[in-house]
Amino acid sequence: MSLTLEHVSRAVDGQTWIDDASLSFEPGSFNVLLGRTLSGKTSLMRLMAGLDKPDSGRILMNGKDVTQTAVRHRNVSMVYQQFINYPSMTVFENIASPLRQAGESKEVIHSKVLET
């Protein structure tokens, strides 16, 4: 999947958090957002995942504009530095959970979790 942010901006409570950011992530690539505390890494990831909407600009997945697409329809996940997903579940179960929700078979879930 390719992911592109085009001139994305976001302000919170009148304060600019992201200003005219443009990024492109190619299929199969390994990418790292690296920066100081409060530099906007989490804000960018929340925009990419669809947890937040930009005030301006577009977010494209495989060339399709998903800026207004709900998070549950984006097929994107993020893992925070501090583990906050489901602390009562194993790592296997945390990874398997969205695959189950997507209706994947037990065999596919097992294979994908082990691959991950």
pLDDT at 82 over 70: no
Percent of the chain beyond pLDDT 70? 94
Q: What is the C-alpha separation between 67 and 47, in angstroms, rounded? A: 9
- Bridge partners (DSSP) of residue 4 are 24, 60
Q: Are residues 1 and 29 part of one domain?
A: yes
Q: Are residues 114 and 83 part of one domain?
A: yes
pLDDT category, 109, cuts 50, 70, 90?
very high
pLDDT, tens digit, for every residue of 30-72? Answer: 888 889 988 999 899 999 989 899 999 999 999 999 999 988 7
Q: What is the C-alpha separation between 43 and 14, in angstroms, rounded? A: 15
Tell me what percent of the chain is helix, strand and coil, each rounded to the nearest 5.
30, 25, 45
Q: What is the C-alpha separation between 95 and 100, in angstroms, rounded? A: 9
Counting the structural domains of the chain, the total is: 2
Q: Are residues 90 and 63 part of one domain?
A: no
Residues of the domain holding 39: 1-77
CATH of residue 55: 3.40.50.300
